[in-house]
Amino acid sequence: MTFSICVREEYTDEDGTEQTRYGVAVTTRLAAVGTLCPFANEHGAVATQSLVNVELGERGVEYLADGLAVEDALDALLNADDGKPNRQLHGVDSEGTFAFSGDECRPWYGHVEREDFTVAGNLLTGESVIEATAEAYESADRDRLLAERLIDALAAGQAEGGDKRTDLEVQSAALQVTTTEGRELDPYYNDLRVDATRTPIEDLRETYELADESFQDALAKYEEAYEDDSLE
């Protein structure tokens, strides 16, 4: 299953409190990748792919919530998985990163592991796909919203060729962003999926832009009602 990115970012909220946000984004030449690959909560982000075992992602973020380090959590799950050689699994938590590509994944496959993010992919046109994804994320302006930057990172990988299975026209893409910050209303653009399309990145970007517009419009019209918990 194609390529994905998991990231961790520290920031200061409006009250001056240090917070952490996590993000994960993925695209593939199959439908509904958002149901299978990306997982995130306020403790970290995980992506499971190649010959997908959804349980690795589901239990991975549960283990992070239980206080396990991402390396310990994901390594333990892989070691208990008979299909380990066919898996790709990577992610981030509050302090570390983890990335694994089994030696029976389909070429081209591989991963990048940096201080605060990971990128992995398989069945790609080449290594430049994940390198471009990583570079786009690293060089992006951190003042921009993370969801938008994750889409840009996917777009950079797609521009390098992305998933090599060009005979499969139907594609999908998804992203999730979470934070340790307590919010009255989580932005609509932080959990998005495009389940079946021939233009996944373009459609994910359009969905993001519409979700952002919707969120801002709702705040402008109903923020007081949201705060008073009186919206009917």
**136-169 confidence digits (pLDDT tens):** 999 999 999 999 999 999 999 999 999 999 999 9
Tell me the chain's radius of gyration from C-alpha atoms.
17
When pLDDT is averaged across residues 96-122 and rounded to a whole number, the result is: 97
Is 227's pLDDT higher than 80? Answer: no
**Residue 10 parent element (H or E):** strand 3-12
* Token pair 């990048």: residue: 112
Percent pLDDT > 90 in the chain is: 88
If one compares 228 and 182, the residue with the highest pLDDT of the two is: 182
- Determine the pLDDT at residue 231: 46
Cα–Cα distance measured from residue 191 to residue 188, given in angstroms and rounded to the nearest whole number = 7
Helix axes 70-79, 54-65, angle to 10 degrees: 140
According to the model, what pLDDT value does residue 220 have? Answer: 85
User: What is the C-alpha separation between 176 and 22, in angstroms, rounded?
Assistant: 8
In terms of pLDDT, which residue wins out, 1 or 204? 204
Q: What is the pLDDT of residue 173?
A: 98
Q: Which pLDDT belongs to residue 229? A: 61
Per-domain residue ranges for the chain?
A: 3-228
pLDDT at 185 over 80: no
Mean pLDDT (whole number) for 49-64: 97
Fold annotation for 3-228? Glutamine Phosphoribosylpyrophosphate, subunit 1, domain 1 (3.60.20)
Average pLDDT, the chain: 94
